[in-house]
């Protein structure tokens, strides 16, 4: 059975990183953008990382520019922005596509394991759903991710155990991460 550990990705320096190096850790894999309305998620992501990294928690950040051109910068500019504005210390990878023919195999796998269900109810979610549908129409059945800051929770065995759309409150994400970290084996 395939797991996250079967994949690799390039870090912001262009070096290949085998995700198997994270074996035994709880991961939160997220596609990000510097100019998105959800960019402030970097703050709770960094806070969660700093608080929980000693328990075996890692955030894996994958910038993506496929949603309304919200991450047009190069890797160095993105890294500088994240570190200077949000003080991020977690692992950042090279910019990727999460949808379409050139989609990262990792994100295609994650989204297949935990497909999109809903952004939820409310006016903000309705608008986001409309924009996501327009944006993802061009990707057809390869529209795996609906918007920036979609998060996937990975257990210590490399299995995808949860998916959080960007509209999910970050406190709920943290509670689920903590539960996974402290789960009895």
- Annotated catalytic residue 36: yes
In this structure, what token pair is assigned to residue 107? 């994100």
Q: Of the residues 27, 36, 60, 132, which is catalytic?
A: 36
Which positions are catalytic?
36
């Amino acid at each position: 059975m395939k797991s996250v550990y079967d994949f690799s990705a390039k870090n912001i320096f262009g070096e290949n990183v085998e995700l198997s190096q994270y074996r035994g850790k709880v991961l939160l894999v997220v596609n990000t953008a510097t100019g998105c309305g959800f960019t402030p998620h970097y703050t709770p992501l960094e806070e969660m990382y700093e608080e929980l990294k000693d328990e075996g928690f890692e955030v894996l950040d994958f910038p993506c520019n496929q949603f309304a051109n919200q991450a047009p910068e190069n890797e160095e500019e993105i890294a500088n922005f994240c570190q200077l504005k949000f003080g991020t210390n977690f692992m950042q990878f090279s910019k990727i596509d999460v949808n379409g023919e050139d989609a990262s195999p990792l994100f295609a796998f994650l989204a297949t394991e935990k497909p999109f269900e809903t952004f939820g109810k409310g006016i903000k979610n309705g608008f986001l759903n409309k924009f996501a549908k327009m944006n993802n129409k061009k990707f057809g059945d390869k529209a795996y991710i609906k918007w920036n800051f979609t998060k996937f929770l990975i257990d210590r065995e490399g299995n995808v155990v949860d998916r959080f759309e960007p509209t999910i409150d970050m406190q709920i994400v943290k509670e689920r991460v903590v539960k996974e970290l402290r789960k009895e084996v």
